[in-house]
Amino acid sequence: MKKRLLTIGLSLAMTLCTASVALAAPKDPLYSINGGGTIFYPEELGGVKESYGLNAKQIDAQGNAKGQMQFSWHYTASPVGAPDRQQYLLHANVLYLVFDEETGDVWVGGEITGSNLDTLDFDGAGTGMEPQNVVGQTFHIRLHDGQFDGATDVDTIGMLWFCPFGDDQHTLEKHVFEKYVTPGESLFELTSGNITLRN
């Protein structure tokens, strides 16, 4: 009788153990990305210096993520829509992270939580939009770890895109999960720093 109870007990323990392992295992690989660096845009794009830093992790197979990202833009002249200031600082929460296995690009999106800019006004560019508060704006950006999975390329980063900016079709989720690329958008090489993607 004791032997039979021991056998039942062991079987039950193994079943519970197997079930807990199955519940704990993620359905798909979860990615994390961290690091950052500096880029210099060519003269035709303003010749400005921008620095980025991030630490973010995808937390489920649907692409939800958590983490932080910082942006520091150094302009020699005031860009369209921004007040006259030499350095623009933005802090953000990362909410989404998607990895494209075909291109090796990482798409990160989130919400601006702090900045030394109050508003951006793009009416001077003929948009017809009212000035927009910077804090609370959502954004997306494309990055590429050139050394992921044994590759020997350079690390690159795309332009930061605010979304939406008064356009209902320009949504954060659409641009991250559909891996939206603005026509003509390029990825720019980091002149210093490093981006590391892990899974």
Residue spans per domain, the chain = 28-198
What is the token pair recorded at 127? 């948009």
Residues 6+ apart with CB under 8 A from 133: 118, 119
Q: What pLDDT does residue 5 have?
A: 38
pLDDT confidence of residue 159: 83
Nearest residue to 137 (alpha-carbon basis) of 96, 183, 90: 90
The CA distance from 84 to 92, in Å, is: 22
What pLDDT sits at residue 58? 94
Question: What is the mean pLDDT, run by run of 10 residues, along the chain of 199 residues?
Answer: 40 37 52 92 75 94 93 68 68 93 88 89 61 87 89 88 67 76 78 90
